[in-house]
Chains A and B, each alone.
Chain A
Amino acid sequence: MSGNGQRRKVFNSFFYSFAGFLFLYSAYLFLSNIDQLFVTEAAIKTREVTDIWGEDREVLNQFAGGFWKDVYFWKSLNLTLAITLITTFIATILGIPTAYALSRYRIPGKSVVEILFSSLIVMPGSVIGICLIVMFNYGPLWEMQNWLGFKFAHSIFPGMVIASLVLSFAFGMSAWKATFDSVNPRFEQVARSLGSSRWRAFRTTTLPLAKSGIVAGIILAWTRAMAEFSAVLFFCGTFRELPASRFSDFTKLLQMDQADWVSVAVWAQVEFGNIEYGFALAFVLVFIGGISVYVMHRIGAKGYVW
């Protein structure tokens, strides 16, 4: 029997090693970059020469670009969190009825719908960004925007909301659909035979049973909205370098002026040389993402693939 035990040990360690490799690779990727947060001589010298946004070089030369002292950091975070919350809210309001319809009702061309949403999840972000731009700036929607006196692209509301909504909705909806698929339709049938209307049957039988799945879907939708980069970059661009006059008073009131979406800010800062600051923002995103993933795993979200 020891021969078998040996073989099983070898088998187990063989497979463990692959999983372990991924674990180590991921951990290494994130942890080893911590030293990017520390300022080097070369970086200070570079900053002496260039001056992009007139930022305070003293602050930037501190650890992690002194990001917590920078007002624009907090504005970016504020902006991103507010927008993603709005996006998640809209995705939930629209997504749950849609998921329910796709799960329970016979809709013609259901497989087309499934292919459509699944394709969006694997499509390049730049393509989605371009699609948004073409859709809003060149089609019949252009006329509508002229009529409203208001351009959707390059705006905070509703531009950023729409950009992050595209994929957030798709992810959330597939999660909610899976949840409703897993609840036995019998309960609603019996509830209706007892005299409940369809809404009451849904509310009192399916909804309580789907609770954890719906929460998981909401977290998923929010996480995806936070991770959105390309669509926001293409559709809205950067706001950091724009003069203060470009922003409405309302936006200034909300402390959202002259701030970028956080993922876009990471790119912008790293691109223009503030490596420590950029990485600090990146770590903030990693931290938020990590907590989301962990919570999702703990809830026991089954089969939700990112």
Chain B
Amino acid sequence: MTGEGWWWRAAARVGGAVAVLVTVATLAFVALQFIPGDPAEAALGGPGSQASAAALEAARAEFGLDRPILTQYFDFMWRLLRGDLGVSYAQRIPVSEVLGNAIGPTLLLTFTALLLAWALALVSVVIASGHSRRARSVASALDLTAAAMPNFWLASLLVLLFASVLGWFPPVSTGGFSGIVLPALALAIPTAGFLAQVCRAGVDAARTAPFIESARARGETELGIRVRHVMRHGLVPGLNLTAWALGSLLGGAAVIEVIFARPGLGRTLVTGVLGRDVPVVLGVVLFSACAYVVVALVTDLVISRVDPRTESRLAQAVPRA
């Protein structure tokens, strides 16, 4: 992409991302309309709360539930824009506060897991970029298995092996560094498996590409071909998946934080789900979706600078987990 054209395209992409964010919020609002029963009742603790009519009225007014739906929608969007996600039904404090407390540990866990996942995936890809067919088959089988592993099962196995049997790491988060290793590993391994599969596809395509022959014809060494040409092409599809990987890790964090009793968005979310605390659940899920959109936009822009080929995002079959 020539320099001048790129800024326009970037602006268009940013505009598109904003439109997606608006749609995300709209879909969340639509989902909210499907809560069965009286939402005011749910706000007061559910059908079993036996709230009085007056209390229901008050709740309805407080949450704006008596106004026409379009007004409610714009109200909702306006509040979102100002960062107001409502008040937790259970804890009676603003959701933004709840999230604010929980976000730090989750981001720490997620980014650690992402780095770990990339490190593992790179090892697998480097093994695959050579010529040994046996090494490639073994790496391929490992990646497949890792990607298919349910992370809650893997977490249990890791706890069993490293905490109970070997005693190297604590089974439950203590707050120190050693407490993050097992949770991060449990999150990282399946993601690494998937990243490695995608990168390996890129590497395989690059290894037989015509420009490899051109490089050889210039006198490029085997190592040079691997590092300077093949690896780069292998990593680009993986980079495209960064946003998806982040989303998947955020999702996995929900389960992992429960298993390891770590504080964070995930545990907050699960508690919210079990208690039907809709504002909290909505808050966490909206945050994750928006984080995805932003990260996807940034990686898109960065990659389009480096690789002008892929105009549209690659429509790959990414798993939903």
> Are the chains A and B members of one assembly?
no
B interface, CB within 8 angstroms of A: none
A interface, CB within 8 angstroms of B: none
